[in-house]
Amino acid sequence: MTTLISPQENVYIFPKVNLYTDGSYRPTTGIGSHAGILQSDDHVLLVSDSSADTTINRQELLAVIASLNTLVRPCDVTIYSDSNYVVKGINSWMHQWKQQNWITTKGTPVANRDLWEALFHHGSTHKLMAIWVKAHTGQAHHPYFENNIVDNIAQSMSIKPK
């Protein structure tokens, strides 16, 4: 369904989605996991998974990518993450990396390029903006309490293999 402000303006209005994400990695188990909560109007969806042979940064990125994979039409997505790597990457770095053929300003290949390319692809479909939130507050009245929920899910999933 396409919603227009007016037929004359032909301006598409993207459905608004809030996405709360977190990743986890436990070196003692070698298991990483991620979780995301998507909220749009009165709809809520939880996405989570775990894997071995990973890193915390890969899990942080996978939380976003796996959640975006569930969207069936272009959306205006605000991503809330406690990972500066994800927030800065989405808001500025990945656009520079793409222009520089996935090479950093230091001249080294971008780490997790496969995931950044997948995220960049989502950015061509959706309007993405990332906001950093303080991690692990544990407060029910925290304005982004959903991040505490996805943190708890990701942490619990990284304790033991599937």
Place of tokens 């780490």: 111
CA–CA dist 76, 86 (Å, integer): 17
Q: Which two tokens stand for residue 70?
A: 């569930």
Residue carrying the six token digits 């990695």: 25
Tell me the one-letter amino acid at 82.
Answer: D
Measured between its terminal Cα atoms, the distance across the chain in Å is: 38
Structure tokens of 2? Answer: 């396409």
Query: Using CA atoms, how far apart are residues 88 and 109, in angstroms rounded to an integer?
Result: 17
Enzyme catalytic residues: 22-23, 60, 82, 136, 151
User: Nearest 5°: phi and psi at 59?
Assistant: -70, -40
